[in-house]
Structure 1
């Protein structure tokens, strides 16, 4: 079974949100983390969302216009029955023509309204599968990095411990030499050794090896 087949099987029965509207998806695939393939699929999903939004707005506008025309036809019909005015009859005819146009447009939009959600779902699924594949690859890469960094940290800890011991040994050695020479020489003579050493500043930590 290929990765894609395994991913599809894992998604069975699950409702996939529109990924480009999902904050968690954006956090996982923020700028610089999305592959060219994912970026392309993201654009495709967003384009379909825009088309769907635009179509829904157009359908709403056409329905509102149709309702307005129908209401006006009712009012004009009442007026025509009272006056038999031919101009009113002509206006009724024009309103009916506009209603027919609205019906034609709504019929045209019907197929798109059915088709767009399907195309959007398919594009979103492709984006989900690409995202799952990317996650699998990045998990592997990140685990390798984590393992490598953990090894480095362990090595640094060992080196740090060794250097702390060396530092303490050097401090003890300096202190012992200072005490020895202090017994035999005055301070002005000690300056000959150019030690620049002051045991009160950094007293050695005895016995902490």
Structure 2
């Protein structure tokens, strides 16, 4: 072992543990600072266009070139600039017009408008024990514009008031039902055979 080695060993013996702790903390701190500086420099260089840009009145992003050059110079970033106009358009957002909403045509029922109530033959039957209800309904139908119905009693009792209309005249069913439900809300409509003596037969039920 040489004299130089002995001196080194002697120097190491004089080193105290707390001296190594301070040195280690200092080195660790310098490493952290270096890493943060590297990350921040890279982030700024990648996003410098966004930092020094602003949107104009016409949705055009313009680069603030003087500030861009100043920061780039401090960070040591190489830039390629074009002399002359300092406002460099970056992106243009085209304006979009609201789509037109088509209007739907209003549906009209031409069939109902062309029906002639006076041509429909009607019979009103009473299947209940109440007297005079067939005549009352017949009067209401006549006042609503229908031809004067004939009336009689029905031997078979019905629970619901039923409107029987020939298939060839079934377009009138809605008009009849509209008037009948004013007195009998539970009324229903159905078709009957073409051989029936009347175009429409209304049988008043117990409900």
Q: Same fold (TM over 0.5)?
A: no
Bigger radius of gyration among the two: 2
When normalised by structure 2's length, the TM-score is 0.25
More helix by share: 1
More strand by share: 2
Higher relative contact order (CA 8 A, sep 6+): 1
